[in-house]
């Protein structure tokens, strides 16, 4: 166990005695009792993260790696509070629920997201058009991601990011490594943006603003798309629109290439073996065809593909051919349910827009 380094100087620490302390032996004994009582509490019950040895080790690591002032990090982390809601929300249910594609899909393919998406598209048409032109990603995919992530900015999360990330970094061992890196990225981001690390808020998992980027993604992929000299994911979606397009581009989005299409499996096809090949599109159209997998109309797959199965209990499994762009959407959120919801919502928006345009022409 690492001992607390002397740089820590929280006035709230009960064991601390000032020089020339004049307290009576009895009071000193009380103080020792209080401090041993504190030590016997679960660490998460302690008020401040800065009081924890692993946090102090983390502070020293960051100070060394990025030339931070340890006292500044210590001050910031002494403001971070353990949030039990964060742990509750990140913890997978003890009994694994039944995965249902139709349940998942119905959360995103609803009138709120479709009508909201059309309004968002109209309002930000010029920005979406510019992002689409600059990065080669269709407007409807950008709109759809913002819709799925935050209902067009309505639902960006009310968790204090510093406390959420400290809670996950120090009190959620299964993903501590990931969230320590995000906490590190938050400190770097705050320094780069000249902001107090405690001034950010977002999802329970540390995702921020319209696009729900984690701090590390903001540092790597955020684009100042309104060119006002700073990244702003909260006030309006302009930077988010550019950043999502750039993120997808940087992860290999192929302009004008297909995302996914429904697959047909010939009777007796061993879908499971093909699905086991993974989410990256590595199966050739010839190989898929020889295994009995084609597009719905019997054509071979359009390109290298992955076979995606979308299961719903009590219903027939949907099979899809996922192409490179489908894989790229899973880089935003590593789930084929997520990527398919983004794609379907984007398609619904694209078709609605087409219909609206045709109607407008007829008038």
Cross-strand partners of 262:
320
Cross-strand partners of 202:
159
Contact 163, 55 (CB under 8 A): no
Dihedral sign (CA 210, 73, 167, 158): negative
Specify the DSSP class assigned to residue 97.
P
149 is a catalytic site residue? yes
Q: Which is nearer to Ca ion, 126 or 276 (CB)?
A: 126
Q: Which is nearer to Ca ion, 80 or 218 (CB)?
A: 218
d(CA 159, CA 86) in angstroms, rounded, equals: 8
Question: Least distance to Ca ion from the beta carbon of 210, Å?
Answer: 12
Residues touching Ca ion, count (CB under 5 A): 5
Question: Least distance to Ca ion from the beta carbon of 142, Å?
Answer: 16
Q: Which long-range contacts link 271-277 to residues 24+ away (Cβ below 8 Å)?
A: 271/307, 271/309, 271/317, 271/319, 274/307, 275/306, 275/307, 275/308, 275/309, 277/306, 277/307
Question: Least distance to Ca ion from the beta carbon of 209, Å?
Answer: 11
Q: Which is nearer to Ca ion, 159 or 213 (CB)?
A: 213
Q: Which is nearer to Ca ion, 202 or 322 (CB)?
A: 202
Q: What are phi and psi of 202, to 5 degrees?
A: 180, -145
Specify the DSSP class assigned to residue 173.
G
Question: Least distance to Ca ion from the beta carbon of 222, Å?
Answer: 9
Q: Of 134, 140, 149, 311, which is the active-site residue? A: 149
Q: Which is nearer to Ca ion, 225 or 323 (CB)?
A: 225
Nearest to 257 by CA among 347, 331, 323: 323
Block residue for tokens 């009995």: 292
Enumerate residues 118-137 that contact Ca ion by CB under 5 A. none
Contact 74, 8 (CB under 8 A): yes
Question: Least distance to Ca ion from the beta carbon of 285, Å?
Answer: 43
Q: Which positions from 213 to 252 touch Ca ion by CB under 5 A, shown as an x/- string?
A: -----------x-x-x---x------x-------------
Q: Which positions from 170 to 209 touch Ca ion by CB under 5 A, shown as an x/- string?
A: ----------------------------------------
Which chain residues interact with Ca ion by CB under 5 A?
A: 224, 226, 228, 232, 239
- The residues that are catalytic are 149
């Amino acid at each position: 166990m690492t001992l607390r380094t002397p740089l820590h100087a929280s006035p709230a620490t009960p064991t601390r005695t000032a020089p020339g302390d004049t307290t009576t032996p009895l009071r000193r004994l009380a103080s020792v009792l209080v401090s041993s009582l504190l030590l016997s509490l679960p660490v998460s019950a302690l008020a401040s993260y800065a009081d924890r040895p692993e946090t102090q080790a983390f502070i020293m690591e960051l100070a060394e790696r990025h030339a931070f002032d340890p006292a500044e990090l210590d001050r910031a982390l002494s403001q971070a509070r353990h949030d039990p809601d964060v742990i509750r929300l990140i913890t997978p249910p003890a009994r694994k629920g039944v995965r249902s594609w139709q349940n998942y899909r119905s959360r995103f393919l609803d009138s709120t997201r479709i009508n909201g998406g059309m309004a968002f598209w109209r309002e930000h048409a010029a920005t979406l058009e510019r992002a689409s032109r600059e990065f080669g990603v269709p407007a409807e995919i950008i709109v759809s991601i913002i819709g799925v992530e935050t209902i067009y900015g309505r639902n960006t999360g009310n968790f204090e990011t510093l406390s959420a990330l400290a809670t996950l970094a120090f009190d959620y061992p299964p993903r501590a490594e990931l969230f320590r890196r995000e906490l590190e990225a938050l400190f770097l981001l705050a320094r780069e943006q000249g902001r107090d690390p405690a001034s950010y808020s977002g999802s329970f998992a540390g995702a921020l603003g319209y696009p729900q980027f984690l701090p590390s993604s903001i540092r790597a992929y955020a684009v100042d798309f309104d060119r006002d000299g700073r990244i702003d994911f909260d006030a309006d979606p302009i930077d988010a629109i550019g950043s999502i397009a750039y993120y997808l581009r940087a992860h290999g989005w192929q302009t004008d290439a297909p995302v996914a299409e429904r697959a047909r499996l010939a009777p007796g096809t061993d879908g499971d073996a093909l699905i086991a090949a993974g989410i990256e599109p590595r199966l050739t159209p010839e190989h898929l065809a020889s295994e009995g997998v084609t597009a719905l109309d019997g054509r071979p797959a359009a390109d290298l593909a992955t076979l995606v199965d979308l299961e719903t209990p009590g219903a027939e499994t949907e099979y899809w051919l996922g192409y490179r762009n489908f894989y790229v959407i899973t880089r935003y959120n590593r789930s084929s349910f997520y990527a398919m919801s983004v794609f379907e919502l984007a398609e619904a928006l694209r078709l609605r827009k087409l219909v609206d345009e045709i109607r407008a022409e007829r008038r």
